[in-house]
Chain A
């Protein structure tokens, strides 16, 4: 196990972080292509909306997993975290865009009502708002200006954003569906691994 972690660490050291931005846009290209080829099913807008939302949640979880992976396994992926976070934000924004333009078709009155009346929309939007200061400060200049300590404190907003995303998914589906509950369980686990006694658990 230790040797596996070591070889993973040395392998990823050679991969530049910018590759993630390129790879991260592959699903967008694929979805766009599928949309115009009629491969997104009977209701392409909903498929697009759900896919973008799900990828955003997966990226948020990936970002959240970096620290516990280092603490518990000694796996060092921290240089990829900014790219993962910014990609997550991009997907959340696209998810919102599809909802506003293609799903709601800019029926402003209904949109504003939904924002306050539908809990899953309120929570989802709350998560997105939390991500705005994070996206704006995900650069070296902001890190220097804020100072490492303040910057880290600010970026704890991630916890709220990821949790909001997972809860948004659980309550938007009808009944108790398995998939959103699995996502929520993973998020809760990753957050729990930051609590002091669990933080020090070494698995390797």
Chain B
């Protein structure tokens, strides 16, 4: 493949297992003392910290799990928390096809086997102009793509969410074209910030947040971070995405967080940080604060045109 992501991280940068196990013991001790009782089920998944995590304070577990846009379970913000329990997430497999060396249907356990899970505390920005800070657990998408082998000529990665109206009641109406589809350019997919998340707050991902495995692309509006993934395809053509199919003038393929390019419905200049009685408005940052890491991907592009 032509565009391999090169990291400046070395194996020596990875926290030795003994160290992080110690750290977890320490945390468990603190937890037992009841000092962090508000953090649910801390550390059920072994994770290492990441240099990509923000130092901002994450939203509460309740904020993150009771305020979701997951139209497969209804359009209300509280619908996913109410109805996503019906979803069967085990067994789960992902079909990986298209321009890959080793296509196939992979069991989720095979995909995550031997993968070092990281805690990635990311800023999250919804296109509806609200924002949170979320402590994901996951691994870089590039890890998976490298394992299945990306063929030269592949330029895009397409994703699909499960379509199962019997368990996803929102799919009984065609609010948006099902199955939910999203896509990334290959270099975006290979960026170290792009992860596949399988957990939240150190525990398995709640269904309403996209269990058992979802994409997280923190510099793009939230709808790009597709949930409950069942298919990943490598293609040479720009893939379709559900929101773009529905209203192309509102939802571009790139959908990078950009305070200078307004969505027709919402000014993107500011955002409401969820939490507390009155969500405080704060200025929106270019690429949601990840400018340093991703601005290079769009060098020379007119971001008002490629929104």
Please list the residues of chain A having a beta carbon within 8 angstroms of any beta carbon in chain B. 35-36, 38, 41-46, 102-105, 107, 110, 113-114, 117-120, 172-178
Least Cβ–Cβ distance between A66 and chain B, in angstroms: 31
For the complex, give the distance between the alpha carbons of A104 and B267 in Å: 11
Chain A positions within 8 Å of B272 at CB level: 43, 45, 103
Are A177 and B75 in contact, CB atoms less than 8 angstroms apart?
A: yes
The interface size bin for chain B is 20 to 34
Are A110 and B277 in contact, CB atoms less than 8 angstroms apart?
A: no
The 7 closest A-B pairs by CB, nearest first: A42-B67, A175-B175, A105-B281, A175-B176, A177-B75, A42-B63, A42-B66
For the complex, give the distance between the alpha carbons of A173 and B250 in Å: 13
Are B269 and A41 in contact, CB atoms less than 8 angstroms apart?
A: no
For the complex, give the distance between the alpha carbons of A107 and B282 in Å: 11
Least CB separation from B64: chain A residue: A42
Least CB separation from A42: chain B residue: B67
Are B67 and A118 in contact, CB atoms less than 8 angstroms apart?
A: no
Are B265 and A41 in contact, CB atoms less than 8 angstroms apart?
A: no
Least Cβ–Cβ distance between A103 and chain B, in angstroms: 7
The binding surface of chain B is classed by DSSP as loop
Least Cβ–Cβ distance between B181 and chain A, in angstroms: 14
Are B262 and A42 in contact, CB atoms less than 8 angstroms apart?
A: no
Partner of A45, one of B173, B269, B279: B279
Are B281 and A118 in contact, CB atoms less than 8 angstroms apart?
A: no
For the complex, give the distance between the alpha carbons of A113 and B268 in Å: 12
Chain B positions within 8 Å of A175 at CB level: 71, 75, 175-176, 246
Least Cβ–Cβ distance between A19 and chain B, in angstroms: 32
Instruction: Verify if B130 is at the interface (C-beta below 8 Å from A).
Output: yes
Are B279 and A173 in contact, CB atoms less than 8 angstroms apart?
A: no
For the complex, give the distance between the alpha carbons of A42 and B131 in Å: 12
Are B279 and A117 in contact, CB atoms less than 8 angstroms apart?
A: no
For the complex, give the distance between the alpha carbons of A113 and B173 in Å: 34
5 residue pairs A–B, Cβ–Cβ below 8 Å? A41-B66, A41-B67, A107-B270, A173-B75, A177-B75
Partner of B264, one of A38, A102, A105, A118: A118
Are A44 and B277 in contact, CB atoms less than 8 angstroms apart?
A: yes
Chain A positions within 8 Å of B46 at CB level: none
Chain B positions within 8 Å of A41 at CB level: 66-67, 77-78
